Amino acid sequence: MLARNRSLIGRLAVKYLVRIIILVFALSVPVSSFSSEDTSEDPFKYLSVNVGTWIIKGGEASFQTSFPAVFVAGTGHSKLEWEALDSYAYILGAKVKPYFYFLTFDLQYVGGDIRDGECTDTDWDEGYTPWSVSKNATDGDIKYWSIDLDILLYPYLGRPVSWGIGEKKPGNKTRFEAILGYFHYEYNLHIFNGVQTVPSTGPFSGLDSTYDFEWKGYKTGLRYMYDFVKEPSDGLHAMGFKIEYSYLWGIDFNGEGYWNLRDLRFTQEADDGTGNDWVLGFFYNPLKNLQVQFGHRWLTVSAKNGYDYRDGTINAYLDAVDSKSKGWFFNLAYNF
């Protein structure tokens, strides 16, 4: 019940966060915003849109439950582990600066199909070797979206004089930003083509099961950027790197599964999960308003001490659950 209440609170928080962002954005655009005056060298004054791909390789996910042992006195365990949850996911995003140049609203979405994944289903009683192990094929999809508020900590560009512009020119090529946001991350997995390896009875027919991981929580982080180009020129307006880290916290996990061979439906919940989101990126501006971005991203989330429910009743303890996505990304961003 506590997990469900927190989930409801999370949804309401997002609902009102979006409303607040829209209100702040609307109130922060004065008539003078459309002035042609340009006292800043930053090409990103109003809006930046980006499209790209995140090549996820080696994606992983797993959960483990515990319950009264099947064959002996004590505790039994069941663990499902997914590997090779790879995807050529697409990226869509937009960044908007209101009148106050030191604030940026950052909206990002990632989505893609998963093919050729692998699932291992293991059951054992504590202190004993597994009494059941099966290997299964997996496909499905991955989704991720976030709403962030980026706050420029350095350099200080004086008072705002127009939409997204300060009275001082940037000059310094170093930037520090704080990140505050909310995210939603999910795997929707389909399990099929089962092979029983313990006991070794081989392939079994009819497997057509599903399991969905859903993570929702908050992010707090820092971003460091450095531009090596001191004097912009034709074909080289900016070139540098960024290092970004966000700590993910207050995460609510919800899992939902259907084992078709037993016509069994169940849900899982866990609170207060945590995670990490690392980005190492490089950027290059061949044109003032066009930026090429590439780099590597590591995203991990985990939770423990949850519950497994069947028909609304606790059936087992959810010992641990986690999801991981990592890989190279490529982006094109156009600044208005």
Tens digits of residue pLDDT in 132-181: 999 999 999 999 999 999 999 999 999 988 877 888 887 778 999 999 99
CA distance 34 to 32: 5
How do 87-96 and 75-83 pair as beta strands? Answer: unpaired
Q: Which two tokens stand for residue 77?
A: 């365990």
How do 160-162 and 47-56 pair as beta strands? Answer: unpaired
Domains and CATH numbers, the chain: 2-34+43-335 (2.40.128.90)
pTM: 0.86
Q: Which helix (H) or strand (E) holds 21?
A: helix 2-27
Sign of CA dihedral 164, 168, 173, 175: negative
Q: Which two tokens stand for residue 168?
A: 């001082």
CA distance 173 to 189: 44
pLDDT, tens only, 242-280: 999 999 999 999 999 999 999 999 999 999 999 999 999
CA distance 216 to 178: 20
